[in-house]
Amino acid sequence: MKFFNKNSSIKRFWLPIILAVVTALTVAACNPARFKVKAAQVPQLITAVLGEPSTFNSALNETLYSVFGFLYDSLMVTNPFTTKLEPGLAESWEISEDQKQIVITLREGLKWSDGKPMTADDVVFTYNDVYLNPKIPTPTKDALKIGEKETLPKVEKLDTRRVKFTVQEPFSPFLRLVGAIDILPAHILQEAVRTTGSDGNPKFISMWGTGTKPTEIVGNGAYVMESYVPSQRVIFRRNPYYWRKDAQGNPQPYIERIVWQIIESTDNQLISFRSGQLDDLEVAPEGFSLLKREEKRAKFKIYNGGPDTGTTFISFNLNKAKNAQGKFLVDSIKSKWFNKKEFRQAIAYALDRETMKTNAFRGLGELQNSFVYVKTPYFLPPEKGLRVYNYDPEKAKQLLLQAGFKYNAQNQLLDADGNRVRFTLLTNSERKVRGDMAAQIQQDLDKIGIQVDLQIMSFNAYIEKLKVTQNWDCYLGGFGGGGIDPHSASNIWRIAGASHAFNQGPQPGDPPLIGWEVSDWEKEIDRLYIKGAQELDENKRKEIYYEYQRIASEQLPFIHLVERLNLQAVRDRFTGIKYNALGGPFWNLYELKVTN
């Protein structure tokens, strides 16, 4: 699943007068109207994203706002309607009877965007030299670790077009993982992998940052980067060496150019779409009613894919460790609160999610209770043991009292040592709904005597605090759609996972953590994730992931909130749209056409 919601989200606020001024300046500074003049010359799509790319190196990317859905194809693609794998760069594949080997055969005549041949050597390089390299901190590596020993697949070349993947034990997600990873160009990147920089790390880690000239980035996808202006836009051009052709032999994609506007506010994106400067828009709850009235007149359609495949939550920092300087990542007093299961459960009961759905989401959302997408067979229904926390502030207070907290005469919550319960809630500023949600969380928790301070930052600064400094109390955030198989979230749930943010352990190349501890329930979820990947019987796998959800809903490392409906507005001039929540409007971008 690629493009704007690639496995795809971390997914807003100005006073009205300030908004008007800022919008005027923004439109003047990066007005895409001049690109519209060229629309008659070349078919193009003008779209918008909320944040800038953090890297041009696909293997190192950890954020939603990435360019790689345009620049790379994978060996196989998942059809979002059937959820079955279909050929991509690989024309076929064979699985051994014991399911421990996969042999893929590449299409004949594949080329990189610089015209060089793409062969089995590139696939072997991508895996052995990059994704499986212990010196390169690729998030993908977490998903490829197999069993308790965390062995990695063996990847070997059979001939110019064939590659064999081998695992030592059964590994259910194997085929989907092999099919989904971006293949990288060995002839460009191999030297950087094998050369060490002054810091002792492979030069590859610092290669292809966003300061790299965009035309130097080599890919195998439908488009290449033509230009990048930070905080304004990325422009993509059709890759002349792309492999796809239609039934008549015409080269695809038909759309020649993509203009990717960086507009870091959903309010400003709405204004740009209504003024005709954007061809599509992720419809935020606050803009739906206005856009719905304009749908026919302005010649666009709002597609509704039902509940979004992502997840939105708050999460407390459970890390008890100190950094390399000997300072606790989390204040030791607060850490004691956060690590009490009863405290987290009380917070869940204190949040009025129905009101949040009505106010912040304008009714255009659904209450969420699990990390697993509700439409997959792995979702655990409440009647089978998923714990649900409906709004009950009195129950929240009872849990807190039972856990040793107390109230003073001003109805302020204190811990057993008399410390006022107060913490900071961190979130990002680009989505207005996030600010609205944070404000309600602050109000809801005030009702049970807890003071919440809000810290709302730009997306990249927010990610820096979460993943690098790790000195945060609680954050409001989300992850993009994890796909069909729960294993796709292994980097979040496995103890050593790169996105195990609620108790992030030391990562390759990072400074050490002193006194990092792992709880028994984390270990049990880790064990279940290993077992789920080893099990080939789908009914048994389902039961394993059911059990992990029972534990997660009891321990609440993530307190689930409301997930938006997947709404997307697209201009009528695009034909061939086949929409659903898993794929979005542009999963088949290569076959879309512009009619005027």
Q: How far is CA 302 from the centre of its chain?
A: 23
How far, in Å, CA of 71 to CA of 246, rounded? 20
CA distances from 477 to 36, 369, 398, 428 (A): 35, 15, 28, 8
Q: Between β-strands 413-414 and 406-407, what pairing exists: parallel, antiparallel or unpaired? A: antiparallel
Structure tokens belonging to residue 563: 């997930």
The count of C-alpha atoms lying within 13 angstroms of the C-alpha of 156, restricted to the half-sphere facing its C-beta, is 5
Which residues lie below 8 Å from residue 396, measured CB to CB, with a gap of 6+? 346, 347, 348, 349, 350, 448
pLDDT at 483: 67
Q: What is the 3-state secondary structure (H, E, C) of 515-539?
A: CCCCCHHHHHHHHHHHHHHHCCCHH
Q: How far is CA 511 from the centre of its chain?
A: 25
pLDDT at 13: 23
Asked whether the beta carbons of 549 and 341 are under 8 A apart, the reply is: no
Strand ranges (DSSP E) for 429-471? 451-457
Structure tokens belonging to residue 408: 């003073």
pTM: 0.81
Structure tokens belonging to residue 45: 């799509």
pLDDT at 482: 59
How far, in Å, CA of 439 to CA of 99, rounded? 50
Q: What is the CA radius of gyration of the chain?
A: 24
pLDDT at 507: 77
Read off the amino acid at residue 171: F
CA distances from 149 to 287, 500, 530 (A): 50, 19, 10
Query: Which residue(s) pair with 78 in the sheet?
Result: 85
pLDDT at 18: 26
* Closest to 505 measured CA to CA, from 326, 327, 315, 329: 329
Q: Which domains does the chain have, with CATH numbers?
A: 3-71+221-299+572-594 (3.40.190.10), 76-190 (3.90.76.10), 311-564 (3.10.105.10)
Give the pLDDT confidence of 271-282 residue by residue, as tens digits. Answer: 999 999 999 999
* Closest to 224 measured CA to CA, from 210, 211, 234: 234
* Closest to 309 measured CA to CA, from 366, 263, 262: 366
Across the chain, which has 596 residues, the per-10-residue mean pLDDT values are 32 26 34 49 92 93 88 94 93 93 97 98 97 89 82 95 94 89 96 92 94 97 97 97 96 97 93 96 94 96 90 96 93 97 98 97 95 90 96 98 97 97 95 94 98 93 88 92 79 89 85 93 96 92 97 98 94 94 91 91
Helix (H) or strand (E) holding 23: helix 16-29
Residue with tokens 């894919």: 305
pLDDT at 139: 82
- Long-range Cβ pairs for the range 375-383 (8 Å, 24+): 375/306, 375/307, 375/581, 376/484, 376/486, 377/538, 377/542, 378/485, 378/486, 378/541, 378/542, 378/545, 378/546, 379/549, 380/545, 380/546, 380/549, 380/550, 380/553
